[in-house]
Amino acid sequence: MSKSLSGKIFTGLFLGLILGTAIQYLFSGVAIMDTYLLGLAEGVGGMFVSLIKLLVVPLVFVSIVCGIVELKDVTAFGRLGGKTFALYIINTLIAITAALTLGAIFQPGAGANLAGSVSEAVKLTTTETPDIFSLIVNIVPSNPVQAFASGDMLQIIFMAILTGLAIQALDQRGGPAIRTFKMTNEVMMKLVGLVMSLAPYGVFALMVQLGATLDANTLASVAGYVVLVISVLVFWIFFFYPAAVALTTGMKPSEFLRKTREQVLFSLSTASSNATIPVTMRTLTDKIGVSKSVAGFGVPLGATMNMSGVSIYIALATIFVANAFGTPINTADYFTLGLTILLLSIGAGGVPGGGVVMVGVLIHQLGLPAEGLAIVAAVDRICDMFCTSSNVVGDTAVNTIVAKSENELDTEQMAQAEATSNA
């Protein structure tokens, strides 16, 4: 078995599918297989799903509180901070809109017919989302304990934002609360790491159940979903961002692509926005000519807030799971889904495997079967590489645009770097 977690998850996926398929076609009617082995797989898969659900509520609350308290420098930077913050949000909104539109057009997961594979141990409730008026009214909880107990994500997010702003307002007196939440966040990260280390076994158990009732349409649907996610992210990296920079700064798209080439390759290999921060800083300051003050503020903020790639991933993965299990999301509910994804994507920045975790949150929120999360997790490494690359190239694009608007873009240095690269 591969030493890497992603390799282990892939191995668990395929071994589970092979064993489940063998039970369906070779050992059908054999009591030890149909009853005992599938029963064991159902129990192990149910425990893994319960572990994920155990982490969802505290993880979302704590991570968003920490994100809010760490964003207080935005107001200190005045106009620069406002522009950077606004562009990150706009970028994420455009990404979510595009992903939901493409999801509605291509309907990834349609025809997979996985509903019959859902066991009672992991079956949830419903996929209906409330209308926008009910969403706005109900976002403020009357009973916070009930909100946590029922796992109402929008109410929990609202309380997290309110708590973070309250801590900010305490200024220096909020230091102990900030340290407490940061330490709690570190504990949650350790718990996430522990649960993710068990993912190969949980995925294996869930895939045994799916494999026992699997048909050929499922594999085609999964492949189509992966291709759609990667295609959208590649378009964002190589077309959308270069075009946006060209329209606002005058830099040629080919020039922007050439200067971000190292950044793209590094982010694809590490699949980590934080690990790519030094490369992003070097790209902005040394190759593009963005001032260190703009880059020094915007890049760390972007590592937390600029989650366009993750938003695209979360949106398409959720639509895929809903369609694959025969409970498609109504087009009328896409606005609600998009708003939820926007809030969740901001909290995904500091979470290892944040995209998968946030897909799990949405699956739980929409009442979708948790086996869908196992499929998403199994192909996560492939999608996550391109997610990270989209995020970090987006950081570069936004900071370049902000620098141009603030006259903090050194065009002479940019030209000199261009001449050096062509020499």
Q: Looking at the structure, give the CATH architecture of the domain made up of residues 5-422.
A: Orthogonal Bundle (1.10)
Look at residue 312 in the predicted model and tell me its pLDDT.
93
**What is the reported pLDDT for 130?**
46
Residue 133 phi, psi dihedral angles, 5° rounding:
-65, -45
Q: Assess contact for 402 and 87: CB atoms under 8 A.
A: yes
Q: Which residues of 380-390 are buried (b: 16+ CB within 10 A; e: fewer)?
A: bbebbbbbbbb
């190589």: which residue's tokens?
Answer: 238
Report the pLDDT value the prediction gives residue 417, as an integer from 0 to 100.
Answer: 53
In this prediction, residue 118 carries a pLDDT of: 47
Instruction: Give the residue among 190, 203, 210 at the shortest CA–CA distance from 8.
Output: 203
Q: Which residues of the chain have pLDDT under 70?
A: 1-6, 10, 27-35, 49, 52-53, 56, 60, 67, 70-81, 112-136, 151-154, 210, 213-219, 269-272, 274-275, 300, 304, 346-354, 370-371, 381, 411-423
Amino acid at 228: L
Structure tokens at 298: 């915007």
Gap between the Cα atoms of 222 and 46, Å rounded: 22
Do the Cβ atoms of 40 and 235 come closer than 8 Å? no
d(CA 12, CA 378): 8
Q: Where are the alpha helices (DSSP H) in 325-368?
A: 334-346, 354-366
Domain range summary for the chain, segments of one domain joined by +: 5-422
